[in-house]
Amino acid sequence: MMKKYNFVLLTCLLSISGAFAAKMPMPADAPASYEAECASCHMAYPPGLLSEKSWQNVMSGLDKHFGTDASVDAKTRTEMTSWLVKNAATRQKYSETAPENRITKTSWFIRKHDEVKADVWKRASIKSPANCGACHIDAAKGVFSESNIKIPSK
């Protein structure tokens, strides 16, 4: 009896949290510098995908950014950092400090993607879990829901 009740409760909680995670739109007050500086090598990740601390870590290491130099001038960096921090993940589940400063290494990301097999991530049109838009066709609009996913076959 008790077991079944727990299961129903858990399912409920999971679907509520899923609904929250599925939409992560770019806040309307994004500084122009964010699109200009942070969307040339990959999509402009919505700030709600990482915690405050993780954004601070990302922004303080831009000269050594995943094997590239993504530095910006000091004024731009201050402006972007305070905006990212202000809009960072707040719900406890998503606010862990991300290993390696990666969204794709957070426990919620790994859990949500546990059905994606290792060889799928390596497909030519995907290449990396960080390439959200390869599968989430409306990622640029901050939509990550189940019904807006199309995994490329190659």
Binding site for ligand HEC (CB under 6 A): 18, 21-22, 37-38, 40-42, 45, 49, 58, 62, 65-66, 68, 70, 72, 102-104, 112-113, 115-116, 120-121, 126, 128-132, 134-136, 144-146, 149, 151
CA 27, 31, 32, 37 dihedral sign is negative
Please state the closest distance from residue 28 (CB atom) to ligand HEC, in A: 18
Rounded Cα distance, 78 and 60, in Å: 10
Give the nearest distance from C-beta 29 to ligand HEC in angstroms. 16
Residue closer to ligand HEC by CB (options 4, 100) is 100
CA atoms of 45 and 139, how far apart (whole Å): 9
Strand partners, 136: 149
Residue number with CB closer to ligand HEC (7 or 99): 99
Of the candidates 123, 90, 120, the one whose C-alpha atom is nearest the C-alpha of residue 21 is 90
Cα separation of the two ends of the chain: 46
Nearer CB in complex with ligand HEC: 1/74: 74
Q: Which is nearer to ligand HEC, 29 or 115 (CB)?
A: 115
| Closest separation in Å from C-beta 105 to ligand HEC | 7
Q: Which of 103, 141, 132 is nearest to 25 (CA)?
A: 141
